[in-house]
């Protein structure tokens, strides 16, 4: 049931005297598609700030925000937990060898087959209404 799609990931490291405009022009010359730039070290710094200033609050990163594999790898290596809204997001995070205890299945309306899949590994789920809690209980009565 593995449906994990292999992603093309292009990561270019910039260092030294960073010039944003020059860097964008450099990337544009080598790529014929849209792209975005992300300071991955900023993710690390912000996560460390989180731990420092909110030590009792456990963050769950919402994968739907940005599911770039490089971002997810960094967060996983830092010990971040994950909020997954679909089967595919769960598979993506499990493929990074994240402990299933660090994953919560959080979607307003979950598909029963996705709950069935989650039942094999994921314990924690959210629900937003009475019908959803009954559906979860019917498919996965031991969910937390």
pLDDT in tens, 53-67: 999 999 999 999 999
- Per residue in 69-127, pLDDT tens? 999 999 999 999 999 999 999 999 999 999 999 999 999 999 999 999 999 999 999 99
Give the residue carrying structure tokens 């964008």: 24
CA distance 104 to 140: 14
* DSSP 8-state code for residue 100: G
CA atoms within 13 A on the CB side of 60: 16
* DSSP 8-state code for residue 129: S
């Amino acid at each position: 049931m593995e449906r994990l799609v292999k992603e093309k990931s292009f990561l270019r490291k910039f260092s030294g005297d960073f010039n944003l405009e020059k860097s964008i022009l450099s990337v544009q010359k080598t790529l014929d598609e849209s792209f975005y730039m992300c300071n991955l070290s900023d993710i690390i710094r912000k996560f460390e700030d989180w731990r420092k200033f909110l030590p009792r609050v456990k963050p769950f990163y919402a994968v739907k925000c940005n599911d770039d594999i490089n971002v997810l790898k960094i967060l996983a290596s830092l010990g971040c937990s994950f909020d997954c809204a679909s089967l595919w997001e769960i598979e993506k995070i499990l493929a990074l060898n994240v402990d299933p205890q660090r994953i919560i299945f959080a979607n307003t309306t979950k598909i029963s087959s996705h709950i069935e899949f989650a039942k094999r590994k994921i314990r924690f789920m959210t629900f937003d209404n009475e019908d959803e809690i009954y559906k979860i209980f019917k498919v996965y009565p031991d969910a937390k």
